[in-house]
């Protein structure tokens, strides 16, 4: 008897030393993390994507500190997509087949977003586009596996055209980067300005290669057409060079200028004191938004990174918190369960209430629209309002006319 008791005590001591509770079933062991695949153009478009990564990393930290999702930690497996369609789909396939991620999110360039939508449809895995703006992602190339957070070109251009009505401008010039995003935005503008502003006409169109603008030639061509309105879609270094050349020539002085994205800190800060005051833009006046939930996000972001948030920061944070809410509703990470949970789903985000419209998988997130103003040594937005995206979305008939699913 004594020998049997000794053996039992030795077994107990060994179990405790190994940290294994006696009688604990295997099911009580710590659950593996939920792996999500993220890809973006970090090397080529760091101005937007690095703040975006900061945003989603902040969200993951907060979620995991509160116990994760469905009792499991979130793990983001992130890769650079090479800013090309071929590289992006190859990286996506590695994330799915080698890393075993449950869904994909991210992307920056619109042509990459279209390729990712096609990949998601082929592989039957959910893909959530964080940044790509071309309408094709949720319209012509839309499918049941692809979703978008940001307001698309149709929505944001519509917000700007609404602001153009009172300007009286009739002769419009367009300048846009010559790839999917720029071509899509230009096509929407041509349609909407002619529908909503009687007598409007397009008198000049300039489409410089992305990242390779010849700003002098571009500004000169627009100047010769003598427009009284300019629609700008340039961003990044192309925008900075165009603004500098236009300011030198006085191109903007007597013109109404509508400009996509230029009020976003990513593209506004590099302009410094060359900010073209008076442009009507979509943007992100982060320092003037007073809603408590947004202010808490800004405070947490600044405390963690010792930097001010960009629009990318907001989007990165939003996409991960919306994924968290979706998984919780689905009770699973299976694609079909996620799709069901996303259909017409409502989210309480740091940008306000957002619905993922089941008709086209486009969220109703809006945009801030206002005018550029110089504030000290840098630019900002004034006279801005937040436009609810739900008021600017394509109609059901327009969606059904182009979607193939």
Domain boundaries along the sequence of the chain: 34-152+289-365+395-402, 154-288+368-392
Opening angle at CA 246, ends 275 and 285, nearest 5: 25
What is the predicted pLDDT for the residue at 165?
82
Terminal C-alpha separation, the chain: 74
Q: Is the dihedral of CA 35, 39, 42, 45 positive or negative?
A: negative
Lowest mean pLDDT among 50-59, 229-238, 373-382: 373-382
What is the predicted pLDDT for the residue at 214?
97
Compute the distance between CA of residue 72 and CA of residue 9 in angstroms, rounded to an integer.
35
For the segment 301-308, the average pLDDT, to the nearest whole number, is: 98
How does DSSP assign 57-113, residue by residue? HHHHHHHHHTT-BTTB-EEEEEEE-TTSHHHHHHHHHHHHHTS--S-EEE--SHHHH
Quick count: other Cβ atoms within 10 Å of Cβ 274? 15
Phi, psi of 217, rounded to the nearest 5 degrees:
-65, -40
For the segment 217-244, the average pLDDT, to the nearest whole number, is: 97
Architecture, CATH, for domain 154-288+368-392: 3-Layer(aba) Sandwich (3.40)
Lowest mean pLDDT among 25-29, 146-150, 257-261, 377-381: 25-29
Compute the distance between CA of residue 405 and CA of residue 403 in angstroms, rounded to an integer.
6
pLDDT exceeds cutoff 50 at 11: no
For the segment 110-138, the average pLDDT, to the nearest whole number, is: 97
Whether 154-288+368-392 and 34-152+289-365+395-402 are alike in CATH topology: the answer is yes
How does DSSP assign 323-374, residue by residue? HHHHHHHHTS--HHHHHHHHTTEEEEETTEEEEEETTTTEE---EEEEEEEE
* Cα 2–chain centre separation: 70
Q: Which residues of 208-228 are buried (b: 16+ CB within 10 A; e: fewer)?
A: bebeebebeebbeebbeeebe
Higher pLDDT, 166 or 126: 126
For the segment 300-307, the average pLDDT, to the nearest whole number, is: 98
DSSP 281: E
What is the predicted pLDDT for the residue at 392?
97
Residue 6 pLDDT grade (very low, low, confident, very high; cuts 50, 70, 90): very low
For the segment 285-300, the average pLDDT, to the nearest whole number, is: 97
What is the predicted pLDDT for the residue at 29?
55
Q: How do residues 261-277 score in pLDDT, each as one tens digit?
A: 999 999 999 999 999 99
Compute the distance between CA of residue 56 and CA of residue 246 in angstroms, rounded to an integer.
36
Long-range contacts (CB closer than 8 Å, 24 or more residues apart) made by 11-16: none
Residues in the chain: 405
Residue 325 pLDDT grade (very low, low, confident, very high; cuts 50, 70, 90): very high
What is the predicted pLDDT for the residue at 377?
86
Average pLDDT over the chain reads: 93
What is the predicted pLDDT for the residue at 404?
86
**And the tokens for 113?**
């977003």
For the segment 130-136, the average pLDDT, to the nearest whole number, is: 96
What is the predicted pLDDT for the residue at 139?
97
162 Cβ contact partners less than 8 Å away, ≥ 6 residues apart: 196
What is the predicted pLDDT for the residue at 202?
97
Cβ atoms of residues 326 and 338 within 8 Å: yes
Lowest mean pLDDT among 7-16, 232-241, 368-377: 7-16
Compute the distance between CA of residue 315 and CA of residue 321 in angstroms, rounded to an integer.
10
- CA-to-CA separations, 55 to 43, 58, 59, 97, 301, in angstroms, rounded: 17, 5, 6, 26, 7
Cβ atoms of residues 264 and 311 within 8 Å: yes
Compute the distance between CA of residue 127 and CA of residue 38 in angstroms, rounded to an integer.
10
What is the predicted pLDDT for the residue at 18?
41
**Does CATH place domain 34-152+289-365+395-402 in 3.90.870.10?**
no
Compute the distance between CA of residue 334 and CA of residue 51 in angstroms, rounded to an integer.
30
Compute the distance between CA of residue 260 and CA of residue 157 in angstroms, rounded to an integer.
7
């Amino acid at each position: 008897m004594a020998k049997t008791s000794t053996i039992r005590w030795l077994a107990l001591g060994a179990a405790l030393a190994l940290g294994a509770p006696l009688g604990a079933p295997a099911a009580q062991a710590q659950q593996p993390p939920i792996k999500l695949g993220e890809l973006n153009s970090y090397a080529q478009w760091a101005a937007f994507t690095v703040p975006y990564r900061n945003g989603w990393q902040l969200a993951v930290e907060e979620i995991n500190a509160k116990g994760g999702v469905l009792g499991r930690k979130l793990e983001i497996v992130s890769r650079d997509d090479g800013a090309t369609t071929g590289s992006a789909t190859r990286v996506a396939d590695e994330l799915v087949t080698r890393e075993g991620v449950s869904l994909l999110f991210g992307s920056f360039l619109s042509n990459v977003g279209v390729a990712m939508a096609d990949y998601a449809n082929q592989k039957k895995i959910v893909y959530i586009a964080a940044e790509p703006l071309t309408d094709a992602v949720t319209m012509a190339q839309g499918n049941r596996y692809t979703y978008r957070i940001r307001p698309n070109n149709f929505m944001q251009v519509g917000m700007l055209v609404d602001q153009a009505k009172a300007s009286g401008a009739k002769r419009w010039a367009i300048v846009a980067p010559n790839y999917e995003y720029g071509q899509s935005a230009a096509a929407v503008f041509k349609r909407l300005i002619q529908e909503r502003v009687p007598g409007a006409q397009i008198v000049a169109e300039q489409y410089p290669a992305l990242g390779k603008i010849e700003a002098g030639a571009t500004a000169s061509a627009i100047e010769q057409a003598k427009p009284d309105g300019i629609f700008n879609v340039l961003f990044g270094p192309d925008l900075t060079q165009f603004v500098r050349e236009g300011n030198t020539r006085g191109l903007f002085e007597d013109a109404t200028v509508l400009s996509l994205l230029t009020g976003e800190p990513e593209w506004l800060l590099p302009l410094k004191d060359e900010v073209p005051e008076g442009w009507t833009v979509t943007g992100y006046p982060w320092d003037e938004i007073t809603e408590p939930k947004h202010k808490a996000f800004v405070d947490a972001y600044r405390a963690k990174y010792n930097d001010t948030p960009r629009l990318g920061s907001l989007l990165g944070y939003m996409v991960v918190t919306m994924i968290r809410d979706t998984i919780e509703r689905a009770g699973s990470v299976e694609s079909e369960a996620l799709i069901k949970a996303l259909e017409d789903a409502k989210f309480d985000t740091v940008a306000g209430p957002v619905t993922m419209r089941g008709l086209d998988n486009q969220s109703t997130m809006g945009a801030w629209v206002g005018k550029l103003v110089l504030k000290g040594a840098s630019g900002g937005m004034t006279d801005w309002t937040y436009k609810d995206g739900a008021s600017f979305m394509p109609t059901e008939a327009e969606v059904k006319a182009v979607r193939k699913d």
